Structure 1
Amino acid sequence: MDRMTDDLLAALRCDPEIPAPDLVAVDAADRLLLDEAAPALADAGPGTVVVVGDRYGAVTLGAVHRFGLAGVRAHTDRLTGELALAENAERVGGAEAFRSLDALDPELVAGARVVLLLLPRSLDALDEVAGLVARHADPAVVVVASGREKHMSRAMNDVLARHLGEVRASRGRQKARVLHAAGPLPGDGAASPWPVTERHDDLGLTVRAHGAAFAGARVDIGTRFLVEHLADAAPDAAHAVDLGCGTGVLASALAAARPEIEVVATDESAAAVASARATVAANGLADRVRVQRARGTAGIADASADLVLLNPPFHVGAAVHDGVARELFAEAARVLRPGGELWCVWNSGLGYRPALQAAVGPTRQVARNPKFTITASRRV
């Protein structure tokens, strides 16, 4: 890697990410990806390069500056990553050379000759991306995909090989490795299977999910536990928020059970938002559930909700960290009107009750099973 690119990468930041141990804006997988993709990028024409999964902008901006690219299309599932890319571009330059696209859809990859991919941990997420590329990119497309070796598996090669006929692995470097893939398979001209659909008769819901959505079309056990107790959650509520909505199960269950309630469902994951919209539509609830991509409760007015539902994540990137949950508790407190309640389900070992009480208000235990606790925190 040349000195100019090294200096540029050193200037990148993770903002607005929540600080976490070992959090860095650039890692070995980013650097190796740029090096391994160099021959393809050197010959890439305007508008033919796509970057998927860039965490904070290292790959997009590194490629733009090192190879003088223009018309790059970028998609990052997490809104935090998309915002970090934009902020870093303002800091180091290059904002005019790329555009971020929210949706993982044909527009993202149409006509692409080079796709740079930061490998997702989920094989379903990789399958959706690889299938999209095979169906809609240029037939001569090459995919250069990188990851940390500890997060990679042979199954990733197999997933890529379902859609692209040539798959090979590079030599590792600094505990990172790259997979090269090319040759879209003819059979991939069929319609995309995503989002997948699963009917849950016990909940009276149909769930639809894209590859990167947490739990897929299943219903995770924490969410299911909270659904079982929704009948008691602020029974007079007229306005509710499903915070960190995932596939939209809580929002859909609440709206289906209470025809008088309006729900805003929000998540920073593009896959979650697309999944939640599909779930809401599948259950005939689009007139009363609005789904939006946002960090926390951005775009929701102060003191406007009677009820907030939350099954908080406990990771920042790959690190186990309670910073996300604590930030969401504060976000819930902001949008709750006095007397409104935050109903939260959490792994009992995390011991969130004091944090909930401090951020929102008096907190009581609603239910507990061997793994999870449900609490109701009243805004004062």
Structure 2
Amino acid sequence: MKHSKLDINEISSAQFSGRDIRDKNLLKLQTYNKQLLKKVYQLQNLVEVSYRLNSVLDEEQIIHTYLLNLFGLLSTRSVVILSAKSPYSDKFTPIYYQGIGKAHAETLTVGRTDPIFRLLQLHHHCLVLNKHAYLAKKSKFLNQVANLECQLLTPLVHRDHRFGLVIIGNKHNNKPYSLAEIDIFTTLTNFLAVALSNARIYKEMERISLTDPLTGLFNRRYFDNYLDTEIARAKRFEHPLSLVMLDVDHFKNYNDQLGHLNGDHLLVSLAEVLTLTVRRSDIVARYGGEEFCIILPEIARDGALVFSERLRNTISAHPFRKREVQPDGHVSISIGTATYPDDAQASNDLVEKADKAMYQAKNNGRNRVAVFD
């Protein structure tokens, strides 16, 4: 059977058309496959980032890991992380910034009266800033951000507690962020919020475990550990170290006359004076009751005596509340000092020697300093 030239052309055209459709479908599948592989890779990255962020409790390390992945996945030019300084703070201030000058970044604060703050209370998701440009007239913060060419903003939220926000600027290629990139930014920042929240909770629990709840000074547990560390350091560098122990004279009288609340207030006030009297390298701790300890690194026996006499005079002259009820008309302390390596080689021995010196000062009439001998 013979085919006409027209039939052959039709058959040939149909073959080309079928091949073309097949090629287009194949291209679509290949493109879809690439997109799928890219998404799988991004998800794997995000899972890894989540693990890394939640495996550390150091805030600087958490932020470093977050930024490394943020810049890698989104190719953003700049970022600013703002956070509340405390759970009771009424504003967010910058804790980290990159790609923005210091002078500009440090002016970016968000108070509770700013419209953007109220907007964040309503939204958990990422905000595309140019869609909220209408707020710039009312929001000083948004106005500043617009001048810095920032594009996206998302809150730091953990368990419905908003404690900060993250802003990122333009991409290096100046193209707008895609929906997929916005999702990545939101997910990364959610991971950051959880990790930062956990790190801060841990830090607060650690602080509570090492701090005296009444005075805010370090407690006995911290003191014992720190003294061991400092004596080991003094041995290594062949430096002296002195320990000062002090006790409030006639504290029972103050308590009996004025009640325990006033007694507590006296201890708090005394702790404040002690903190203001020492160097930054010194450690003040509440040892127990009305007894306090001060570790003086690199201070020898004579230096400890000079410091203690100055401290004793400072306390005697300080206008503590209702000090006139004390036998001498003012609050006073008895102080004992001991020094490594002259008096003791180990921390327990040093404490014992300083304690003996303190009771020697009390036995000698109170309101005086005794050096262990």
If each structure's helix is expressed as a fraction of its own residues, which one has the higher value?
Answer: 2
Is TM (by shorter chain) over 0.5? Answer: no
Larger radius of gyration: 2
- TM-score between the two structures when normalised by the length of structure 2: 0.23
